[in-house]
Amino acid sequence: MRALAGQRRPAAASRARVETSSGVPPWLEPLRPAGNKAITGLLASVQRDDKEAPSADLLTAKQIADAKLFYKLQPQLYPPDIVVQLRTALGLLPVGGVDDELVISVAKFQLAEAGGSLALKIDGKAGPRTLPRIFRSGLNVASEGEAFGKDVQTGVVDQWATFADAAARRDALVVLVNKKLVAAGVPPVTAAFDENPSNAGSFDFSTWQMKIGRKRLDGKTISVEDAKDTADTVWHEARHTEQWFRMAQLRAGQGLKAPALVKELGIPAAEAAKARAAPITGKSPLAVIAQGWWDSVYGAGGAHRGAVLDEIDAASKALDKARAKFGANKTAQNKAALVKAKARFDKAFAAYQNLPEENDAWATGPAAAVGVTSGSPEPEPEPEPAPAPAVIEEPAGAPPTPGESAHKTMPEKDLPE
Amino acid sequence: MTGAADLATAIESLRAAVARSAAGTLRHVTVELTEPHDVSDLEEILGAAHELPRATSPSSARRVQFDDTVPDEGEVGATVLAELDGGGRVSSLLIRRDEY
């Protein structure tokens, strides 16, 4: 889900979204004018300072040992051939296994990602948040996102006024994103409006629908900021679609037939059949990545995920309530309650963005915004009403101007015949 | 007929209509119940339900799926899912046309 920034949650809450999406803690807020990229770069070094004294490299000896244990305790996820692929992707020699060099290289990669849209924890563990960024595929390839953004620019934003209504714009966006999904081997979605006014968009896996907020699509024009955010939202939700299909392919590769996929994942039969026909088999980075998403949504992480979603929903409602109360009566007590509600929301939102599938989607969406470069053209001015009949000011019987037809100026022309 | 029997009849009629619809004409229908029902009431009609993970929106409704309604491989059917209200009772049904 992507919340509609600045709508249901104006000011503080929408800022929280930006903060958490870039990994900037509230205490770095005064540095915001320096820009997200600068702040997140700073954040990386601050995070290291917060922990134990760092070694000459990024991690302490204890952190390196801890990371090595992380791989060794999960041999089903990190068998030797996956470790070889990981080493190769990071520019290391394939041989060496899980050694200090691998762990430090992962940490360096995580540090380099700090300049992106959503920082990674620097711990040397290539887990479910880091792996999709090392092994980019499908919609997670930045050039794909930017290309989609360009499609949105030319196919929807530049043509804004030619669409009949918000539904037509929504459908055009979904046609564009479906081309990308199909190219990535993912079944296309159907389009619907997300009727929750606080949502910019969501993906409903039970109906295989992409739901898009109506508000931004309803105006006669769209600003460049809103156009960028719309492209980002659609790409974010499309990445969720891809995640769900990869999970289905993974489970198909693990032996589940189509009806079992429907029962376990709750997806429609048509999409289950397509996953069954194209299973993810063997030990591949994509299989490990999809396993991370499955673990988070359907596996051992499912209860945690449910609690995180419950909490952000509750925290969002509590923040709205506190904001309304303070707006109506600006007492010190109501202000304190608002600050507390905001802190609760920020914490809940950070936990939500840290879910593997959300972390991945939040890191994927912004590439689409890059391809959007302007808002919609100014609408054509309304045609002026037809001019009123000319008022002839000359006195009746005035002589015609030399060289002009007498009938043009003769008052009789308007007289009944 | 009792209320439960009426509900069972209505659900079966809907499922039959959804399953009979021509391919490509209908994906699912949503039905609001006139009053909330316990999941157990519907389990008596449709078999055991299991709760699905929430969709990607935190504000999305909790859903259960009645797995016995999922068609077998090669069949066309109508799978029943139920949306739960804040109290965990069924407020609406989603009947999805499923074809492999």
Q: Is the pLDDT of residue A8 over 60?
A: no
**Which pLDDT value is given to residue A50?**
41
Q: What is the mean pLDDT of residues A223-236?
A: 98
Which helix (H) or strand (E) segment holds residue A2: the answer is strand A2-3
Tokens of A323: 């904001």
Assess A317–B contact: CB distance below 8 Å, yes or no: no
A-chain residues within 8 Å CB-CB of B58? 1, 309-310, 312-313, 316, 352
pLDDT at position A34 over 70: no
Q: What is the mean pLDDT of residues A15-36?
A: 31
Look over chain A and give the mean of its residue pLDDT values, rounded to a whole number.
84
Query: What tokens appear for B80 in the block?
Result: 């029943």
Nearest chain B CA: its distance from A355 CA (Å): 11
Asked if the model's pLDDT at residue A73 lies above 70, the reply is yes
| Structure confidence at residue B57 (pLDDT) | 86
* pLDDT at residue A32 greater than cutoff 60: no
CA-to-CA separations, A133 to A19, A119, A125, in angstroms, rounded: 20, 11, 13
Fold of B3-99: Double Stranded RNA Binding Domain (3.30.160)
B50/A351 Cα distance (integer angstroms): 26
**How far A62 CA sits from the closest chain B CA (Å)?**
36
| pLDDT surpassing 50 at residue A417 | no
Cβ contact B58–A207 (<8 Å) = no
Q: Give the pLDDT confidence of B45-95 residue by residue, as tens digits.
A: 999 999 999 998 888 889 999 999 999 999 999 999 999 999 999 999 999
What is the model's pLDDT at position B78? Answer: 98
Pairing outcome for strands B76-84 and B90-99: antiparallel
Q: Structure tokens of A54? A: 């760092």
Average pLDDT for residues A1-15, to the nearest whole number? Answer: 38
Structure-token pair, residue A65: 């040992």
Among the listed residues A149, A187, A165, the one whose alpha carbon sits nearest the alpha carbon of residue A270 = A187
What whole-number distance in Å separates Cα of residue A396 and Cα of residue A10? 67
Task: Pick the residue from chain B with its C-alpha nearest to A362.
Answer: B56
Using CA atoms, how far apart are residues A76 and A82, in angstroms rounded to an integer?
10
Structure tokens at A222: 């769209």
Q: Do A257 and B73 touch (CB under 8 A)?
A: yes
Measure the CA–CA gap between B12 and A325, rounded to whole angstroms.
48
Q: What is the pLDDT of residue A2?
A: 63
- Residues A375, A48: contact at Cβ < 8 Å? no
| pLDDT at position A204 | 97
Beta carbons of B57 and A1 less than 8 Å apart: yes
Collapsing DSSP states into helix, strand and coil, what is residue A169? helix
Give me A180's structure tokens.
Answer: 């990308």
* Interval A134-177: pLDDT, tens: 999 999 998 999 999 999 999 999 999 999 999 999 999 999 99
**Cross-chain CB nearest to A268 (options B63, B67, B96):** B96
Distances in whole angstroms, Cα of residue A326 to Cα of each of A16, A319, A329, A337, B68: 18, 10, 5, 8, 50
Q: Do A306 and B53 touch (CB under 8 A)?
A: yes
Whose CA is closest to A355, among A406, A410, A303, A392?
A303
What does pTM read for this prediction? 0.83
CB contact under 8 A, A270 and B73: no
Q: Chain B contacts of A264, Cβ < 8 Å?
A: none
